[in-house]
Structure 1
Amino acid sequence: MGQPHFIIFANEKGGTGKSTTAVHTAVALAASGYKVAALDLDERQRTMTRYLENRSATIKREGVTLPQASYAVLEGRTVEEFEAAVDQLASNANVIIIDTPGRDDDIAKAAILKADTLVTPMNDSFVDLDLIGQVDPDTYKITRPSFYAELIWNSRQRRAQATGKSVDWVVLRNRLQHIDSHNLRRVGAALDELARRVGYRVIPGLSERVVYRELFPKGLTLLDLEHMSDVQIGHVTARQELREMISGLDVPPLNSSATLVA
């Protein structure tokens, strides 16, 4: 099928909504006609895999047709086994989504090197911002990029040298609060300042909503409102957030007339 587009979700901090965002991205792209394969590198927690397994079970149990990605868990622990798993998925996919574990290891680094789109979800706080940049405690200005930002920078340089391709690094502001605050503005200003130095884009992600936790047992996403009972205005608002997030990822279309569905 040609070279697939790799979307890598990576963040060494837990609790940023990484797997939930990866699942929603996979399903949204599948709904748009892409053949999507999802590879879960966290062989212990398997959050993305469990979500997609629940979705497959719902499709079978309720006899409904839902857009779905193929999925696999990396059982191996070597880079060679990772490469073999990717090759197998690439034979029948034009988008591969990889959910990396919240740790720094050789397989996660190998995944980052494959990224066409590298997505780093983060909560809107200085605790999460510390992953990519250190902040002056008085001025809230960025003092220097963090180790993780330097890791990504080096990986992008290596990929450019090896393949001639650039990497679109996207920092996803998940769990944004619905009210304005000094913290919100300060984090936003620091992110924008650091973006100019290390070259990522900032886009809004998914807000903190109970609905995301409710969707997991059936493997449903915000694309599946017609299969849910008691749909409320919050569900519709959250679906619009999803639409904006998918659009912001700027995944190359299958053809010139393709339109992303969310």
Structure 2
Amino acid sequence: MTSHPHRIVFANEKGGTGKSTTAVHVAVALAHRGARVVAFDLDHRQQTMCRYFENRAETMRRRGIELPTAHCHVVEGMDEPAMDAFLAANSAVADFVIIDTPGRDDPLARHAATTADTLVTPMNDSFVDFDLIGQVEGESFKVKKLSFYAELIWEARLKRSRTSIEQNRAQMDWVVVRNRTGYTEARNMARIEQALTEMAKRVGFRVAKGLSERVIYRELFPSGLTLLDKGHLGDLGTSHLVARQELRGLVANLRLPDRLAERIPEPAQ
């Protein structure tokens, strides 16, 4: 077993960016590979991620099937030290820890973001969402300043770089995921891409293509199934197959470690 589960935090202080949907699908994609995945839902009001896994468990029970999945815990009524202890106690044997945060300003969400090995910030292709990480000029669309959130992550990455060797942890990889790109006007998409490229150079995040706005993602929630659950979804149309490839591309672009290859074999009895 590896000494430290790889922690993937999905964080965006704006709602409606597809954060929980992306988190669930990445968790299930890792479970399909044979990884041991433990999930923590910091949005104790909505509990979208844990509700998804509850629906998945109910579908398995009702159909009498086994599907790769993750154990999900709701984090509520804790301060930062208590949450850190809770996560550590419930993920000791995990390969990956998935943390979904609420789409609002939240102290525990900010703390979780600073502890990520991979920080995923989903955003819709709009300057309303871009404002989370930086502000642009109204005429030129040039980046004029970082947001408080971007500065927070920048400081966290600097702190990690100073302690990564002694803690045996790699640098934080920050990935901004562009969801719903198909619904953005071409000229505006180019402006956002230009601003993201400029901001990425300043702050040091990577940009990855995310999930389009497809009805299938919303339709799957009641059953807890995902696009990777072949043989359990019925007949899929072309758009669904395209969405599956889209998801696989996103997971590949996250460049997550191969924790199965890193496992130390159990000693022979």
Q: In which range does the TM-score fall when normalised by the shorter chain?
A: over 0.9
What per-residue deviation string (whole Å, max 9, x for no partner) do you get for residues 118-168 of structure 1?
A: 000000111100110101111111111111111110111122223344110
Corresponding residue for residue 123 of structure 2: 122
- 8 Å contact from structure 1 (residues 171, 200) kept in 2: yes
Count of residues in correspondence between the two structures:
258
- Specify the code of the residue in structure 1 equivalent to 2:226: T
- Specify the code of the residue in structure 1 equivalent to 2:236: V
TM-score (norm 2): 0.91
The unaligned stretches of length 5 or more in structure 1 are none
Distance 1:109 1:22 in 2: 17
Corresponding residue for residue 52 of structure 1: 53
Corresponding residue for residue 169 of structure 1: 174
CA RMSD of superposed structures (Å): 1.7
**Runs of 4+ deviating beyond 6 Å:** none
Corresponding residue for residue 22 of structure 2: 21
**SS of the counterpart of 1:38?**
strand
Distance 1:54 1:255 in 2: 27
Taking structure 1 as reference, are residues 125 and 178 closer, same or farther at Cα in structure 2, changes over 3 Å only?
closer
Shift of 1:7: 0.3
Say if 2:267 is the partner of 1:239.
Answer: no
Shift of 1:193: 1.0
Distance 1:199 1:25 in 2: 22
**SS of the counterpart of 1:177?**
helix
Shift of 1:16: 0.3
Distance 1:218 1:38 in 2: 18
Corresponding residue for residue 73 of structure 1: 74
Matches within 5 A, 1:1-262: 1=1, 2-164=3-165, 165-177=170-182, 181-255=186-260
The unaligned stretches of length 5 or more in structure 2 are 264-269
Distance 1:257 1:151 in 2: 31
- 8 Å contact from structure 1 (residues 119, 170) kept in 2: yes
TM-score (norm 1): 0.94
Distance 2:36 2:245 in 1: 23
Distance 1:136 1:50 in 2: 40
Distance 2:179 2:233 in 1: 24
